[in-house]
Amino acid sequence: MKKNKAVLTTFVSMLFSIIFSFQSFAEGLPTHAETKEALKSIVGEKNGGFGLNMWATVVDRDGVVKSVVFSGNDRGDQWPGSRIISAQKANTANAFSLPGLALSTANLFAITQPGGSLFGLQHSNPINTEVAYRGPSENIGTLNDPMVGYKIGGVNVFGGGLALYDRSGKILGAIGVSGDSACADHNIAWKLRHKLNLDYVPKGVSSTQDDNIVYDITDGVSASGWGHSECSPDATEIARELPKTDPIRSSEKQ
């Protein structure tokens, strides 16, 4: 009896995952397989960090988690804590981006520091801990990741979260990446979004009018108000070249 129940539970879980995969495809969002393949290829590139394995989470426009993937061979090959951070970043980029204006999580760094006009934002929209820590560990990062199908919530204000826009300029949700330095996370997220063809960004606050990370903090003050602290010279240089190496695309509306 117990064996039959376990088999039924596994079957239902697999069916649930397949349905969500089809839903993601129908909504224009990348599937679990597409995201994982793209992430694995990008992690092997020079990104300005420690070259660590990564987590990536995709959420839809309602903040519902659609997929959670990792680049390593096992869930323990990446920082375990970064799984939830990746989801938090995805939720943040989606929650604070609009059809006409994209804000990356990196863009929120300076403005949420003490004295900033949005100080305290990082404490709003708390993470749903019941969703974050639910389910069996062996399903983490698979099609059956326990977060899939639920709203994770949370706000994160350092690099790694980007809104997703399709060819028509419609915002579909967001992607969050975590597992390395905050600056490398941003670079990887940018490349990942580009590889998934969901970077038809309408407008942003960076000097190149997109949602790229901004490095303009001097003596603790961001000249633009949208700055992020630097992690390494390599990460900074890679980020500054992203609009050229992995340029955002022009939507049909632009």
pLDDT tens-digit series, residues 156-193: 999 999 999 999 999 999 999 999 999 999 999 999 99
Model confidence over 110-145: pLDDT tens digits?
999 999 999 999 999 999 999 999 999 999 999 999
Burial label, 55 (beta-carbon count in 10 A; 0-12, 13-18, 19+): buried
CB-count exposure of residue 18 (10 Å: 0-12, 13-18, 19+): exposed
Q: Is 176 helix (H, G, I), strand (E, B) or coil?
A: strand
C-alpha dist (Å) from residue 14 to 17, 20, 73, 149, 198: 5, 10, 20, 13, 27
User: Residue 156's closest CA among 194, 198, 108?
Assistant: 108
pLDDT of residue 6: 47
Per-residue pLDDT at 33 exceeds 70: yes
Measured distance CA(171)–CA(163) in Å, rounded = 7
Q: What is the pLDDT of residue 9?
A: 47
pLDDT category of residue 8 using cuts at 50, 70 and 90: low
DSSP-assigned beta bridge partners for residue 81: none
CB atoms within 10 A of CB 6: 10
Q: Which conformational region is residue 169 in: left (phi greater than 0), alpha (psi within -120 to 50 degrees), or beta?
A: left
| Range with the poorest average pLDDT among 36-40, 77-81, 102-106, 120-124 | 120-124
| Distance in angstroms (rounded) separating the CA atoms of residues 226 and 241 | 18
Left if phi > 0, otherwise alpha if psi is -120 to 50, otherwise beta: which for 101? beta
Q: What is the percentage of the chain residues whose pLDDT exceeds 90?
A: 87
- Of all residues in the chain, what percent carry a pLDDT higher than 70? 89
What pLDDT is attached to residue 252?
74
The per-residue pLDDT of the chain, averaged, comes to 92
Fold of 2-245: Beta-Lactamase (3.30.450)
CA pair distance 76, 129, nearest whole angstrom: 20
Q: What is the mean pLDDT of residues 31-60?
A: 98
pLDDT above 90 for 90: yes
Domain boundaries, the chain: 2-245
